[in-house]
Amino acid sequence: MLKKLAFFILLTMVFNCKNENVSKENLTHNSSKEDYTQYVNPFIGTSKMGHVFPGATAPFGMVQLSPQTNFEVMHKEDGSYNSETYEYCAGYQYRDSTIIGFAHTNFSGTGHSDLGDFLVMPTTGDLVLDPLETYDGDKGFYSTFSHDNEEASAGYYKVDLDTYNIKAELTASERVGFHQYTFPKSDNAHVILDMVYNVYHHDNKNVWTFIRVENDTLVTGYRQTKGWARTKKVFFAMQFSKPFKSYGHKKYDEIKYDGFYKRFKQDENFPEMAGKDIRAYFNFDTKEDEKINIKFALSPVSTAGAMKNLKAEIPHWDFNKIKEETKEKWNKELSKIEAETLTEDDKITFYTAMYHTNLSPILYEDVDGQYRGLDQNIHQSDGFTNYTIFSLWDTYRALHPLFNITQPKRNNDMIKSMLAHHDESVHNMLPIWSHYANENWCMIGYHATSVIADAMAKNVGDFNYERALLASVNTANVSYFDGLGDYIDYKYVPDDLSHSSVSKTLEYAYNDWCIAQMAKQVGDASAEKEFMKRSEYYNNVYDPKIGYMRPKLSDGTFRKNFDPMDTHGQGFIEGNAWNYGLYVPQNIDKMVTMMGGKERFTQRLDSLFTMNIDEKYIAKHEDITRDGIIGNYVHGNEPGHHIPYLYNWTGHPEKTQSRVRMIMDTMYGSTVEGLCGNDDAGQMSAWYIFSSLGFYPVTPGSPDYALGSPLVKEAKIHLDNGKTLTIKANNQSKENVYVQSVSINGKKLENNLLSHQDIMKGGELIFEMSNQPKQ
Amino acid sequence: MLKKLAFFILLTMVFNCKNENVSKENLTHNSSKEDYTQYVNPFIGTSKMGHVFPGATAPFGMVQLSPQTNFEVMHKEDGSYNSETYEYCAGYQYRDSTIIGFAHTNFSGTGHSDLGDFLVMPTTGDLVLDPLETYDGDKGFYSTFSHDNEEASAGYYKVDLDTYNIKAELTASERVGFHQYTFPKSDNAHVILDMVYNVYHHDNKNVWTFIRVENDTLVTGYRQTKGWARTKKVFFAMQFSKPFKSYGHKKYDEIKYDGFYKRFKQDENFPEMAGKDIRAYFNFDTKEDEKINIKFALSPVSTAGAMKNLKAEIPHWDFNKIKEETKEKWNKELSKIEAETLTEDDKITFYTAMYHTNLSPILYEDVDGQYRGLDQNIHQSDGFTNYTIFSLWDTYRALHPLFNITQPKRNNDMIKSMLAHHDESVHNMLPIWSHYANENWCMIGYHATSVIADAMAKNVGDFNYERALLASVNTANVSYFDGLGDYIDYKYVPDDLSHSSVSKTLEYAYNDWCIAQMAKQVGDASAEKEFMKRSEYYNNVYDPKIGYMRPKLSDGTFRKNFDPMDTHGQGFIEGNAWNYGLYVPQNIDKMVTMMGGKERFTQRLDSLFTMNIDEKYIAKHEDITRDGIIGNYVHGNEPGHHIPYLYNWTGHPEKTQSRVRMIMDTMYGSTVEGLCGNDDAGQMSAWYIFSSLGFYPVTPGSPDYALGSPLVKEAKIHLDNGKTLTIKANNQSKENVYVQSVSINGKKLENNLLSHQDIMKGGELIFEMSNQPKQ
């Protein structure tokens, strides 16, 4: 459960500090509108399992430049897994007191990590090139820091590096990180460029690194890693505001080269460095309070691409200008929903959630539209902007549906990026979990089909529907993919042939329904029929004798040893039959009937939220922690995110209403512990935004939202079509969680559903609230 | 010394076989001209230290597709260096009886290796994926073969793989290797694509490999290695004439990936493979005598580039068509010099030498002109064709000068490629020893300046002279390069600061003279003066007291411990004071005077060629073997290649004449042992071509050649300007090695010099030969 007591004083201080700035800025930049960035606190969720980072980034920026705190290695010296590793998914844990540098790529809230490219660290004194500990056991180049001297806002991060008496400030445009280091007087100041560091690892993901010192202020290079993205390459161009007086590097791997290249000294002031694991350094003399700025551009294509990005996005050295411009970009995104909340804390939670829904997928192309494709060839984005980081098992649920309201143009580009991915895929598949021109195959299903079907159902975007259907059908027929061939043959995934057999069957069936919806829109009756048929395969893993979804073997019998509470090895992934088994979003009425009708289903939901779950069922899973659990319902992970809304289908919408308000109150908050589980690239936050507004996309691919209970008092959604939908919760209070009636533009909504079409018309959506369920 | 006894029977057989083909082809393709490919024997030099390969390639082709014979590893299990390694520089040793496959890149004759990319091997029976020995100690996938069933000609190679009863045939266009495998009947036939194999190594040069099975006949991918070229990437597209029935791969490295990509089976029939060390296989059913063809295209840019090359160069499946076309390409290059020799053996030696001078530098760009630059960015060749493999310490001597006669257009492109290299170089340096978008820094000097100066002196090409001068001056001033800063400061390379100090001083001084010649042509008097001054620095390492070039320390004194016979650690590299110390090509007269005048110098040369050299001075150097030595003169290595011609400057041209004829007779031949040392990318062969024609470029950068004694009876050089120079050696015989007089178009040549200008005019160059020196 959320611990709201912590960090209050600190946050008050930080926000006070920020508010002062805001006032001044309002006068110059944003006089007509409220500054919503004042409600963003990037530290929310940086403690424990939120997996978000506090660093600086532009909305959906390729550069996400953030401090990396002092975590050592994924595997301990004895080879065992370090259980703390998972907490460091975004490189930062709030409890830490040391920083080892600032890395230019970070996932926001994902369930695994792979990034942390190009760690930059300014130091003074004797040069130390090891981050944690030197070979002789001396202190590494990390610095201590205090949260008292740390500050983070949308697009800006600041910290005092106490060990070196250096003030570090970061901001970023989409493709360029902008560092500002204020040094003390020193004739021995350094900027370290650590090409070894990775999130989770200090030394074992690199395939190759390459650095060129183009001149005394410009450095280029790239890194290739073999992590989650099996063949990942990121290129950079790094420009200093002041010439370095000397430089060098140290090679940490033990690779021996052939030939004679070592014939002359190449470790100092030799402008070409390469190897598996190298760390470079650049030396300076600094005056007291002298600022050294660094512009650090990334490219998925080449160092030439990084140079283009650098020149195009930040052609000057005005740090504050970029900081302000990026803040404005954030304000533009945040102000798409102008929310009035009951408390300041709620407003902070709301806008920080908004912030977190604008961090990924990220832009993944150079300013000229060139990007690296899944085939590792360089492509030109034609008629779209290319994005990457598709954590689709998470984000199809609410993040992409939210984009259909707040970011329709970007969602259109993201779908086009997925279609390009399909075309570049040797499998002819849409992305599963893809990042940086690689498919990492994480989690199950082919949920890109949901994102596409949802956009089609809501008439978002101008992507080609036939092409999208074909790509979806191709994807749904790749027989060697993760039990899919067996699913097609057996009409379910046999548990003896594939792990997570029930979860896969349920999600494939839902994805197939999505494809059927596309086929219907396109007018392909044959495909519609085929995939509607497949969408009913969930039936085949339901065991009416016990009333649960249950693993079935290839011989047609249900598996004998079966524990519906266990989240491990019971045919589900990151869930159990109790919570994951309630997954038939494409036909909730039928599921309710199948499972014994409305009353029994209501009781089952009640039990789910209130039962006591044994510790042994929790301890096994890093994605399921006590913080994110209500009974046997897991809000800290995704597969149950639709469940609180299912009461709407059992005749008890008031239970949905109280439950979602309870979840918003207890599973989210405005402190560093404000996320009860991985934000999962924005899905957790998107759930909060939708629920705060009073509705939720229980079935992406359908144009309808399930109504819940709004948290806001009022919210204006500024739609892309120029219209505004104003949501009003009359008689709103913390206690008044029950909805008496809902109307849109005077039309009463009767069946707990709100259509996307109605939202798009703008106008007023009015909830009448009460502290009693509607009679 | 050359052993002419060996292999006579075999060669007779091979050539008989080829001559049959030739007769038929003459009727269809080449009826008006002689087929000079009949005199090319790619096996010449494949024994011991020639370092050439017998495989199939087009002239200057990017694909040089050749069998790799069974050599295990560079380092033995105990970590010690395997002394046989060096012999396998081109992957093939004639004495071997087993072949492990056919690799698509091979250096020709170089002094080190790095290639052997993409080993393809057809097999039958149980699949074996280890080349030499399986984990269980069983036989690897290699096959035995017999030279009786092996055949090689210009652009074609054939061998019977006895172990599998498969006939393997290879041909190639510039960018595409073309395989033809004739299988026995089998329901278990395979084509192995070994991404692990490297020349010299089976397992430790790879950085990363990547394979995509695009469909059941098309495979793409790339390999990145960290060998001599520190960051080398080669991309491929591999097309089969027949669909494979199944495929898979095995990963040999122990790299563990993070994430969940292994959740489903990916080692069989999964079309995406990646890792450090992988071997893929493709399975077929074959009928008796069924042919399976493979087109294998390379690209320095991308798999998309390889696909472009594949489609553009071989759009069909007609193996014989490509074989014939490539043969015609060879004939075109070979027939640029139509030579009549005293013996058939000499003709074979001559045309095989011609062949060897057309193997590198190689084309290094896609059909659309895209290539990978030294900066690892992709560039478009603009107004030139890009080449790579610049073994310049070797090839500036005679190969590039020969190109100025036989390949002026290509040499112009090569110089433009060097200038592009300079522009892409972070050092602003011309290539030293460069290949595949990397500088490997092998050997000494900056001899690209010699290649440029020679072309300028001979008015070859249309490259920009000012740009070439600037690039040369930049190169000559990179202070951190290999003692160059000290050379500039001290006016010699101090022996206590840099190894090979005398060799470097001598070669830098010669290179500086080359730059001065360019400056003169461009009209930059200041640069001319500066570099003429530097060109005299050879003076500073001559010790008149002992009469030798001698290492000098930074304090200005000569090194005390000094052995002018030793080739190791005496201030010279791959040579000693006796032979390498005679290197002042820019001012031979002065050197002769300095070393005691003409008579003393003559005596010194006589001694050099006749002295007995102790075994201890030879054993140390892999580039200096008994086979290539005459006294203390080393023809098997480069630094003395000009020495036989120095008698021209001592009043004893007759000694040059007899000596060069003796060298041609004893150091070259038409058998597999026909090269007395590394062919060094064609330098050794270029020496032979020049000397056979009766002249040699002793001082590249000057327009003059030193006259020698022709081996040919007559030769027609078809010049690029449309003119023909006919060289006639009247009264020529094996004994008549002495030149009585030489005239060109009736003008008598008096000073043992022939000018390039005179050659370019065409006409007749007539040598009057005798068995007695001219009185």
The answer to whether residue B25 scores a pLDDT higher than 70 is no
What's the rounded mean pLDDT across residues A176-200? 96
Per-residue pLDDT band for B2 (boundaries 50, 70, 90) equals very low
Nearest one of A354, A334, A349 to A671, comparing CA atoms = A349
Q: Which residues of chain A make contact with B210, given a CB cutoff of 8 A?
A: 231, 376
Q: SS3 of A167, please?
A: strand
Q: Is the pLDDT of residue B22 over 70?
A: no
Show which of residues 164-203 on chain A sit within 8 Å of chain B, judged by CB atoms. Answer: 200
Q: Can you tell me the distance from the alpha carbon of B768 to that of B647, in angstroms, rounded to the nearest whole number?
A: 19
B446 reaches A (C-beta below 8 A)? no
Whether pLDDT at B27 is above 80: no
Whether the predicted pLDDT of B697 surpasses 90: yes
Model confidence at A341: pLDDT above 70: yes
Specify the higher pLDDT residue, A251 or A243. A243
Q: What is the ipTM of this complex?
A: 0.92
- With a pLDDT cut of 70, the percent of chain B lying above it is 93
Kindly report, residue by residue over A723-756, the tens digit of the pLDDT: 999 999 999 999 999 999 999 999 999 999 999 9
The confidence band for A12, taking pLDDT boundaries of 50, 70 and 90, is very low
> Which pair of tokens denotes residue A347?
């407003």
Q: Which residues of B touch A255 (CB under 8 A)?
A: 226
pLDDT of residue A29: 37
Q: Does A265 touch chain B (CB under 8 A)?
A: yes
Average pLDDT, chain A: 92
Residue B441 phi, psi dihedral angles, 5° rounding: 60, 20
- Closest of B258, B207, B255 to residue A73, by C-alpha: B258
pLDDT value, residue A192? 98
Residue pLDDT, tens place only, A32-45: 579 999 999 999 99
Quick one: pLDDT at residue A735?
97
Tokens encoding A381: 């984005």
Q: CA of A593: how far to CAs of A508, A704, B198, in Å?
A: 21, 21, 65
In the three-class reduction of DSSP (H, G, I as helix; E, B as strand; rest coil), residue B344 is classed as helix
pLDDT exceeds 50 at position A28: no
Q: What is the dihedral of CA B637, B639, B642, B643, to 10 degrees?
A: -90
Over the stretch B61-117, which tens digit does the pLDDT of each residue have? 999 999 999 776 666 667 676 778 888 999 999 999 999 999 999 999 998 889 999
In this predicted model, what pLDDT tens digit does every residue of A511-523 receive, in sequence order?
Answer: 999 999 999 999 9
Model pTM greater than 0.80? yes
- Please name the residues between 464 and 483 in chain B that touch chain A, using a CB distance below 8 Å: 480-483
Percent of chain A at pLDDT above 90? Answer: 85
Name the pairing type of β-strands B724-730 and A56-57. Answer: unpaired
C-alpha B492/C-alpha A576 separation (Å) is 79
B269/A contact by beta carbon, under 8 A: yes
Q: Does A95 touch chain B (CB under 8 A)?
A: no
Q: How confident is the model at residue A14 (pLDDT cuts 50, 70, 90)?
A: very low
More confident of the two residues B253 and A657: A657
Please, which pLDDT band fits residue B20 given cuts at 50, 70 and 90? Answer: very low
For B771, phi and psi rounded to 5 degrees? -90, 5
Q: A390 near A419, Cβ under 8 Å? A: no
Q: How far, in Å, CA of B458 to CA of B518, rounded?
A: 11
Q: For residue A593, which amino acid is it?
A: T
Q: What is the pLDDT of residues A707-728, one digit of tens each?
A: 999 999 999 999 999 999 999 9
Q: What is the mean pLDDT of residues B695-699?
A: 98
SS (H, E, C) B108-157: CCCCCCCCCCCEEEEEECCCCCCCCECCCCCECCCEECCHHHEEEECCEE
CB B62 within 8 A of CB B53: no
A617: confidence class by pLDDT, cuts 50, 70, 90: confident
pLDDT digits (tens, 9 = 90+) for B336-358: 999 999 999 999 999 999 999 99
Asked if A258's CB is within 8 angstroms of B112's CB, the reply is yes
pLDDT tens by residue, B299-339: 999 999 999 999 999 999 999 999 999 999 999 999 999 99
Instruction: List the alpha helices (DSSP H) in A407-463.
Output: 408-424, 448-457
Cβ within 8 Å of B, A 520-549: none
Contact (CB<8Å) B304/A377: yes
* pLDDT classification of A628: cutoffs 50, 70, 90: confident
Give the model's confidence band at A256: pLDDT under 50 very low, under 70 low, under 90 confident, else very high.
Answer: low
- Whether residue B145 contacts residue B161, with contact meaning beta carbons closer than 8 Å, is answered with yes
- A205 contacts on B by Cβ (under 8 Å): 258
Write out the two tokens for A447: 């949920």
B231 touches chain A (CB under 8 A): yes
Residue among B224, B377, B440 minimizing CB distance to A303: B377
Convert B707-772 into a string of H (helix), E (strand) and C (coil).
Answer: ECCCCCCEEEEECCCCCEEEEEEECCCCCCCEEEEEEECCEECCCCEEEHHHHHCCEEEEEEEECC
3-state secondary structure B195-238: CCCECCECCCCEEEEEEEEEECCEEEEEEEECCCCCCEEEEEEE
pLDDT for B453: 98
pLDDT at A7 over 50: no
Within 8 A of B270 by CB-CB distance, chain A residues are 480
Q: Does B375 touch chain A (CB under 8 A)?
A: yes
| pLDDT confidence of residue B84 | 81
Chain B residues whose CB is inside 8 A of the A228 CB are 257-259, 261
- Mean pLDDT for A202-225 is 93
Q: B182-206 pLDDT, tens per residue? A: 999 999 999 999 999 999 876 678 9
Q: Cis check for the bond before B585: say yes or no (omega within 30 of 0).
A: no
Domains and CATH numbers, chain A: 37-332 (2.70.98.10), 591-775 (3.30.2080.10)
The answer to whether the beta carbons of residues A74 and A114 sit under 8 Å apart is: no
d(CA B354, CA B682): 9
Question: Hunting for tokens 């693993």 — which residue is that?
Answer: A551
Contact list, A377 vs chain B (CB under 8 Å): 302-304
- Average confidence (pLDDT) over A402-430: 98
- Ranges A227-241, B29-43, B267-281: which has the least confidence: B29-43
pLDDT at B8 over 90: no
Residue A391 scores a pLDDT above 50: yes
Nearest CA to CA, how far is B530 from chain A (Å)? 26
Which tokens go with A513? 């329904």
Q: Between the CA of residue A695 and those of A444, A579, A772, what are the distances in Å?
A: 26, 21, 19
According to DSSP, the residues that pair with B643 across neighbouring strands are none
Rounded to 10 degrees, the C-alpha dihedral A507/A511/A514/A520 comes to: -130
Two structure tokens written together for B282: 């493709």
Q: Is the peptide bond before B644 cis (omega within 30 degrees of 0)?
A: no
Could you tell me the pLDDT band of residue B260, with boundaries at 50, 70 and 90? Answer: very low
Whole-angstrom Cα distance, residue B659 to residue B657?
5
pLDDT for the residue B201: 72
Q: Residue B33: pLDDT band by 50, 70, 90 thresholds? A: confident
Cross-chain residue pair A212–B375, CB shorter than 8 Å = yes
At residue A204, the pLDDT reads 78
pLDDT digits (tens, 9 = 90+) for B494-536: 999 999 999 999 999 999 999 999 999 999 999 999 999 999 9
The answer to whether the Cβ–Cβ distance between B376 and A114 falls below 8 Å is no
Task: Give residues 380 to 439 of B whose Cβ lies within 8 Å of A.
Answer: 426-427, 439
Percent of chain B with pLDDT over 90: 85
What are the start-end ranges of the H helices in B8-99? 8-28
Tokens of B695: 């002249």
Q: Do A376 and B270 touch (CB under 8 A)?
A: no
At A385 the three-state DSSP class reads coil
In A642-697, the DSSP E strands lie at: 695-696
Residues of B in contact with A265 (CB under 8 A): 480
* Inter-chain touch B272–A480, beta carbons under 8 Å: no
